[in-house]
């Protein structure tokens, strides 16, 4: 035995130390995305009564997802799902209804939490070694091994006709409860359905303690900004973020002011931060302050003569094409265009048209896609649009009075410049045709809104537009994302984001094909990111699949132990009188010299130096230690000493009343009467 052990040790020494070690199992991408899958069915749409009721958006199954991913060239989650989709399109007969499907139907069903690779197994009653695979097989044959594809269900094996025998299922089965006619219609719907709404998975970027009022995603899709009512701005980086979803920087632009809007520059190298203060700030991509715009003089009546805003800002956006120009609106009733290179004054001041003179706040503003047009929502419910042209001024080109019954919170132009969307406090969303602005094309009601930053967003192809809703006291649906069809002008789907938190702002990024929605209440806030592994790119897919780095040996830090040598008994000094006297002399209290008695007026910071009415000073004066001559003088005589001087040379009040006031007559003092 010892010889065998020596031989083994000698042979083992020839191999590296890592030989024979089992590699750690890596988490598959399917299981990672399965953990972020949205649970529960989506709320059914509830179109308004004025529009014709439309069916809800079809739930996202794995087949539909793979079809959309294949048609658009986007990466698929697994190769098995693509093979299954091809078999479905080939037109196979219906499989057994009890067969399991690994796809998820809009959150319904029990099979949404586990992926099935390949065709599902048939029920135990259908497993047999016979070629026919009928129902008359013995029970002993049920334990046989199935070879080849599973046989068709019992309903297709009754009479044994040749036509029915030819319907042997080859390849993976089709989804259950889908007839051949329904399947063709479903394929046509999938081809016609170009919405591609990524809703299957969801992550949440947390960190705020109050509602997230604004969010901004840079044009590249790598960084996300979120601003909140807790006065802070958090920066998230998808490329450097792991599954913990923590921000890499936290900013507080202005202490005590809520963050109302964030906007990236067209080149994504800077971003604009608008808060409740009168000054907007510019930051670089890493969150370092580049400057803040000047504040105007609040005592100047004409707003065009001030160098900046004089009241809190309400909104601000960067120019979509020019990286040096931004637009801001304020509660002082003006819109201003700024040059980023000059923080001391604005380029243009726009005063909206009002029915009565005064100051009405501008609640929101926006650019069109080309930056040639500006729209502003005024506090009186009107919408005013200015076209940037040579010699333009504050007079609006389009003025819609009483467009909404309450403050306007969001404006959005379409890319073709034909449609304008408006969102308001009155719980409505209106669609306007810019060629005919007298009446809106469509009005969507029952969209509660309690936040001044609630906006509207378009899908990348602008076939859809979406907005968020707020939570009401007696509501049971919570915060929702509502999707509308632009061509049909009808509500197609409502997606639940949070049961207790309102949805404030939303965005649909064209590069990532992911939907961002900010939500929160008085105690919490976060940014929800909706994505689909087969439709979306990068963004949330990158950070979710990246596990947090585990601590290694190099990360171990030994806490240093500090030894005080004078605290040890070996180094303690023996008590001596000399050492004690030296310590007493260093103590300011014990070494304080006794105070000498007071002689004459106080000096050196002691009593008697001040001319106040302290009780101690009064007692000393009465005792005769401090002698003052003015204490024995009659105050009336002291005042009358200067009567002649004041009459001859009046300086302050007397000249103003010299012609109207009579001459004062003072009573002469009688010393004898006073003595009596």
Q: How far apart are CA 208 and CA 231, in angstroms?
A: 9
pLDDT of 363 reads 95
Q: What is the pLDDT of residue 243?
A: 86
**pLDDT recorded at residue 180:** 47
Residue 93: the pLDDT is: 41
Q: Is 272 helix (H, G, I), strand (E, B) or coil?
A: strand
Other Cβ atoms closer than 10 A to 204: 15
Predicted confidence at residue 57, as pLDDT, reads: 37
Superfamily name with CATH number, domain 201-549: YVTN repeat-like/Quinoprotein amine dehydrogenase (2.130.10.10)
The DSSP symbol for 632 reads S
The C-alpha atoms of residue 57 and residue 494 are separated, in whole angstroms, by: 9
Report mean pLDDT in 10-residue bins for the chain, 676 residues. 66 66 68 80 43 37 37 37 48 41 38 42 45 42 47 46 42 46 49 69 92 95 94 93 90 93 95 95 94 92 90 94 94 94 90 87 94 93 91 88 92 93 94 91 93 94 93 86 93 91 94 94 92 89 83 76 73 75 85 70 54 61 62 81 80 74 73 56
Q: What is the pLDDT of residue 215?
A: 96
Check: CB of residue 458 under 8 Å from CB of residue 506.
no
Phi-psi category of 231—alpha, beta or left, where left has phi over 0 and alpha has psi -120 to 50?
Answer: left
Instruction: Report the alpha-carbon distance of residue 197 to residue 495 in Å, rounded.
Output: 11
pTM over 0.75: no
Contact 420, 434 (CB under 8 A): yes
DSSP H or E segment with residue 367: strand 362-367
Question: Which pLDDT belongs to residue 438?
Answer: 87
The first and second tokens of residue 482, run together, are 């509502």
Residue 139: φ, ψ to 5°: -70, -25
Tell me, what's the pLDDT at 551? 74
Q: State the span(s) of the chain assigned CATH 2.130.10.10.
A: 201-549
């Amino acid at each position: 035995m010892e010889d065998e052990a020596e031989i083994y040790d000698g042979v083992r020494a020839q191999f590296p130390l890592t030989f024979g070690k089992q590699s750690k199992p890596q988490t598959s991408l399917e299981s990672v995305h399965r953990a972020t899958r949205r649970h529960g069915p989506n709320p059914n749409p509830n179109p308004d009564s004025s529009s014709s009721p439309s069916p809800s958006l079809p739930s996202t199954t794995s087949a539909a997802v793979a079809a959309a991913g294949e048609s658009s060239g986007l990466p698929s989650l697994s190769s098995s799902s693509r093979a299954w989709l091809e078999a479905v399109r080939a037109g196979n007969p219906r499989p057994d209804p009890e067969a399991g499907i690994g796809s998820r139907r809009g959150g319904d069903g029990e099979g949404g939490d586990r992926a099935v690779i390949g065709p599902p197994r048939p029920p135990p009653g259908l497993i047999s070694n016979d070629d026919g695979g009928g129902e008359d097989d013995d029970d002993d044959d049920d334990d046989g091994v199935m070879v080849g594809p599973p046989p068709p269900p019992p309903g297709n094996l009754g009479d044994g006709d040749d036509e029915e025998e030819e319907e042997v299922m080859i390849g993976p089965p089709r989804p259950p409860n889908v007839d051949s006619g329904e399947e063709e219609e479903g394929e046509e719907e999938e081809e016609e359905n170009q919405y591609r709404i990524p809703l299957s998975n969801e992550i949440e970027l947390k960190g705020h303690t109050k509602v997230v009022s604004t969010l901004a995603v840079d044009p590249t899709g790598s960084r996300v900004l979120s601003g909140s009512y807790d006065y802070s701005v958090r920066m998230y980086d998808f490329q450097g973020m792991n599954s913990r979803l923590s921000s890499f920087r936290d900013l507080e632009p202005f202490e005590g002011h809520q963050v109302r809007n964030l906007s990236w520059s067209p080149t994504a190298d800077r971003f604009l931060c608008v808060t409740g203060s009168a000054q907007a700030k510019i930051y670089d991509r890493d969150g370092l302050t580049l400057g803040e715009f000047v504040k105007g003089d609040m005592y100047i009546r004409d707003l065009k003569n001030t160098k900046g805003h004089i009241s809190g800002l309400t909104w601000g956006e960067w120019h979509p094409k020019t990286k040096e120009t931004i637009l801001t609106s304020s509660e002082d009733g003006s819109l201003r265009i700024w040059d980023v290179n000059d923080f001391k004054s604005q380029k243009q001041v726009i005063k909206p048209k009002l029915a009565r003179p005064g100051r009405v706040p501008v609640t929101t503003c926006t650019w069109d896609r080309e930056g040639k047009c500006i729209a502003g929502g005024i506090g009186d419910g009107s919408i005013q649009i200015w076209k940037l042209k040579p010699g333009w001024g504050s007079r609006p080109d389009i003025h819609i009075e009483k467009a909404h019954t309450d403050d306007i919170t969001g404006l959005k132009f379409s890319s073709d410049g034909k449609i304008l969307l408006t969102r308001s406090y009155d719980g409505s969303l209106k669609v306007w045709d810019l060629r005919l602005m007298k009446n809106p094309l469509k009005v969507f009601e029952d969209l509660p809104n309690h936040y001044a930053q609630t906006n509207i967003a378009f899908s990348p192809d602008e076939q859809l537009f979406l907005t968020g809703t707020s939570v009401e006291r007696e509501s049971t649906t919570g915060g929702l994302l509502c999707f509308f069809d632009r061509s049909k002008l009808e509500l197609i789907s409502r997606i639940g984001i949070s049961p207790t938190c309102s949805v404030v702002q939303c965005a649909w990024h064209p590069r990532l094909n992911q939907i961002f929605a900010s939500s929160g209440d008085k105690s919490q806030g976060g940014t929800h990111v909706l994505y689909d592994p087969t439709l979306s790119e990068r963004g949330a897919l990158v950070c979710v699949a990246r596990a947090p780095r585990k601590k290694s040996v190099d990360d171990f830090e030994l806490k240093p132990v500090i030894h005080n040598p004078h605290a040890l008994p070996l180094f303690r000094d023996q008590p001596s009188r000399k050492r004690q006297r030296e310590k007493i002399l260093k103590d300011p209290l014990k070494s304080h010299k006794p105070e000498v008695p007071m002689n004459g007026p106080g000096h050196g910071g002691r009593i008697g130096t001040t001319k106040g009415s302290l009780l101690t000073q009064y007692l000393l004066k009465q005792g005769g230690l401090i002698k003052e001559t003015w204490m024995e003088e009659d105050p009336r005589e002291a005042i009358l000493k200067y009567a002649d001087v004041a009459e001859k040379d009046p300086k302050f009040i007397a000249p103003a009343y010299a012609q109207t006031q009579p001459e004062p007559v003072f009573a002469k003092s009688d010393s004898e009467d006073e003595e009596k």
